[in-house]
Amino acid sequence: MSPQHPETAPALVVDNLRKTYGNGVEALKGISLTVQQGDFFALLGPNGAGKSTLIGILSSLVSSTGGDARIFGISVNQQRNEAMKLIGLVPQEINFNQFEKPFDICVNEAGFYGIPRKIAAVRAEKYLKELRLWDKAYHQARELSGGMKRRLMIARAMMNEPRLLILDEPTAGVDIEIRRSMWHFVSGINAAGTTVILTTHYLEEAEQLCRNIAIIDHGTIVEDTTMKRLLAKLDVETFVLDTAEPVSTPPTLDGIALRRVDERTLEAEIARTHDLNSLFAALSAHGITVTSMRNKTNRLEELFVRLVEGGRNGAKEQAA
Amino acid sequence: MSNLSANLVAYRTIARREIVRILRIWTQTLIPPVITITLYFVIFGKLIGGRIGTIEGFTYMQFIVPGMVMMSVINNSYMNISSSFFGAKFQRSVEEMLVAPMSNWVILAGYVTGAVARALAVGVLVLVVALFFTNLHLVHPLIALVSVTLGAIIFALAGFINAMYAKKFDDIALVPTFIITPLTYLGGVFYSIKMMSEPWQTISRANPILYMVNTFRFGVLGISDVSVGPALLVMVGFVIALGVLAVHLLKRGVGLRS
Ligand SMILES: Nc1ncnc2c1ncn2[C@@H]1O[C@H](COP(=O)(O)OP(=O)(O)OP(=O)(O)O)[C@@H](O)[C@H]1O
Ligand SMILES: [Mg+2]
């Protein structure tokens, strides 16, 4: 492919990327995907799918065994340094020196990118404040809580003001309030023009934040589409219904599978083509009053499980 | 911003961080070598040395000072870089540098600068301690400085390469135990090889540390068992060879990138 201009090229083009580790594990089996400039992109997949391997290759920590990736048109293989200038990385594992202070960690990080100390000090203060770490700026990093450490890695990744921010499970083990504040921060960064790639196992997070999505499993892309289109694929939804009175045997309804969970709880699997009004009408007709209703799982989660499990079963059948 | 000026900022960042680290843990980096060497001076210089005659016109105490300085320089340079760089690998903070857009030589040069800074600081401290036991005046200060700096760089590079391959903290102790300590003790720190019979004199000449100790001794006392010019050239050769090897290993990501 011909080199593209950094201003117009996609933020990321992954081209038939492969990785076989030294121990023989084939973590990526030739994957391709494109992330447009300004996108908020979800990279999802079960444990061991190859997400961190892909991110490792993009940040040059892992060397690919085939294919290439281009960051704003710049090849990671051929122009590593130029490509790295454009990336900010929040890795999955804590990787700063625990004996250093957050302020120094951020200022040094900027130094590695060639940013003079004066400018770096201003930026460090700005981002540590935005991530609500300023009161810890001069404490040893090991004194930070787990959630603070994750935020510190986000602040650090912002020091070179990257055009592409890659977050590998930034919210793992982070409480809901802090997670929300992280979402707020990252959404703001994205709104200001930074392209964001997010890996997470909290699917409601991906559903809320991301516009486009790729699902990777066993080193291959099993889905690469927009969030809207993916959610539209969900043909059946499962609702949990709480009833006013105990229900001994759930009625049989047309096109709706009803299951009794306990005395006052029912589960209803409804095809998307079916409307909910008919469900309530049918239940009323059987003398059942519904007091509350919720989705059994988040919609994306339901899809995710189907996609990934579908892939697994398919693979098993092939193997058999 | 040009790549060179960005690389220089990165170099200063690493060197500065290394020096801050040395000062932060000064009780581990600067004090222990001084205590060890003071004991050597008391025991070998004063107690035993008093019973040994002069060597080429110098008291035994005066004779061993340059070797002691070189020995501390070598050890501290090696220990500083290997423990700091392996520590960065162990804590994964090395990844901060590996993902940044800087050249490989910058990482190496930054760490070597830190190691040499500690080595020279310890060398000066040891010299100062020596002045409490004996009097010395540097005969060839420039040669003294050049030889001690080359010695520090050589063992910094060796320590860096060792740390790249190391998988656990024990691995970085292998070189000091099996190479540095025996070679320094047999490298003419405590004696002149002229005191030895053949074949030991010839065998000793295969020991690189002999050349480091003697060029430095020449700088301090003006005496040497080896010719100083060629010895310095060989040391420069070692610096180049190990430097090229280290940059090559960094480029391949040995022990660093999977
Ligand atoms: N350094 C390594 N050496 C050998 N195999 C590895 C290495 N790193 C990862 N793997 C293997 O590669 C595969 C993909 O791992 P990877 O870390 O990319 O998964 P992931 O999608 O990030 O998973 P998770 O959600 O658990 O973080 C796994 O089988 C893993 O065991
Ligand atoms: Mg991972």
* A1-8 LR contacts (CB < 8 Å, sep 24+): A1/A70, A3/A73, A3/A74, A3/A75, A4/A70, A4/A73, A5/A73, A6/A72, A6/A73, A6/A74, A6/A86, A7/A72, A8/A73
* Centre of ligand 2 from the C-alpha of residue B238, in Å: 42
Is B88's CB within 8 Å of A97's CB? Answer: yes
Q: For A198-246, how does the pLDDT look when each residue is reduced to its tens digit (9 = 90+)?
A: 999 888 888 889 999 999 999 999 989 898 888 777 777 788 889 988 8
Closest-CA distance of chain B to residue A200, Å: 21
Measured from the Cβ of residue A300, the count of other Cβ atoms closer than 10 Å reads: 24
**Pocket around ligand 1 at a 6 A CB cut-off:** A 21, 23, 25, 27, 45, 47-53, 92; B 258
* Centre of ligand 1 from the C-alpha of residue A199, in Å: 14
Instruction: Spell out the residues 6+ positions from residue A86 whose beta carbon is closer than 8 angstroms to its own.
Output: A6, A71, A72, A74, A162, A163, A164
Comparing alpha-carbon positions, the chain B residue that sits nearest to A82 is: B101
Size of chain B, expressed as the number of residues it contains: 258
Report which of B216, B151, B219 is spatially closest to residue B180, judged by C-alpha positions: B151
Q: What is the reported pLDDT for A312?
A: 58
φ, ψ at A8 (rounded to 5°): -115, -20
Band of pLDDT at residue A3, cut at 50, 70 and 90 = low
Q: Tell the residue number behind the tokens 């200022």, with chain if given.
A: A107
Q: What is the reported pLDDT for A318?
A: 40
**Which uninterrupted H or E stretch holds A108?**
helix A102-112
Q: How many CA atoms lie within 13 A of A119 on its CB side?
A: 11
Q: A220-226 and A256-262: which strand pairing?
A: unpaired
Q: Is A103 on the interface with B (CB under 8 A)?
A: no
**Degrees, nearest 5: CA angle A30-A32-A37:** 155
List the domain boundaries for chain A: 12-224, 233-299
pTM for the model: 0.88
Which residues of chain B fall below pLDDT 70? 1-2
Rounded CA separation A103/A137 (Å): 5
Q: What is the reported pLDDT for A123?
A: 97
Of all atoms in ligand 1, which is nearest to the CA of residue A53?
18
Q: How many CA atoms lie within 13 A of A50 on its CB side?
A: 24
**Radius of gyration (Cα) for chain A, nearest Å?**
23
Instruction: Look up the CATH architecture of domain A233-299.
Output: 2-Layer Sandwich (3.30)
Give me the residues paired with residue A219 across strands.
none
What separation in angstroms does the CA of A221 have from each of A12, A65, A235, A307?
15, 17, 21, 11
Q: What is the reported pLDDT for A239?
A: 87
Is A112's CB within 8 Å of B95's CB? Answer: no
Q: For residue B99, list chain A residues with Cβ-Cβ distance below 8 A.
A: 59-61, 84, 87, 89
Mean pLDDT in chain A?
Answer: 89
Band of pLDDT at residue A311, cut at 50, 70 and 90 = low
Tell me B193's DSSP state.
G
Rounded CA separation A82/A293 (Å): 53
Rounded CA separation B12/B10 (Å): 5
Tell me the residues of chain B between 12 and 41 that have a Cβ less than 8 Å away from chain A: 12-14, 17, 20, 24
- Give the burial class of B187: count Cβ atoms within 10 A of its Cβ; 0-12 exposed, 13-18 middle, 19 or more buried: buried
ipTM field: 0.90
Of B92, B100, B257, the CB nearest to A113: B100
Q: What is the reported pLDDT for B137?
A: 86
Q: What is the reported pLDDT for A310?
A: 63
**Which uninterrupted H or E stretch holds B162?**
helix B141-165
Would you give the distance in Å from CA A152 to the centre of its chain? Answer: 19
Rounded CA separation A125/A103 (Å): 7
Q: For A151-202, how does the pLDDT look when each residue is reduced to its tens digit (9 = 90+)?
A: 999 999 999 999 999 999 999 888 888 899 999 999 999 999 999 999 998 8
Q: For B145-195, how does the pLDDT look when each residue is reduced to its tens digit (9 = 90+)?
A: 999 999 999 999 999 999 999 999 999 988 888 888 899 889 988 888 888
Q: A40-44 and A212-217: which strand pairing?
A: parallel
Q: Which two tokens stand for residue B211?
A: 């050349």
Of B20, B87, B258, the CB nearest to A21: B258
User: What residue type is A18 in one-letter code?
Assistant: R
Q: What is the reported pLDDT for A4?
A: 59
Q: Hey, whose CA ends up nearest to atom 12 of ligand 1? A: A27
Domain range A12-224, its CATH number among 1.10.10.10, 3.30.70.1520, 3.40.50.2000, 3.40.50.300: 3.40.50.300
* A147-152 LR contacts (CB < 8 Å, sep 24+): A147/A173, A147/A174, A147/A175, A147/A178, A149/A94, A149/A96, A150/A90, A150/A94, A150/A174, A150/A182, A151/A178, A151/A182, A152/A96, A152/A102, A152/A105, A152/A106, A152/A128
Ligand minimally distant from the alpha carbon of residue A200: 1
Of B5, B92, B257, the CB nearest to A114: B5
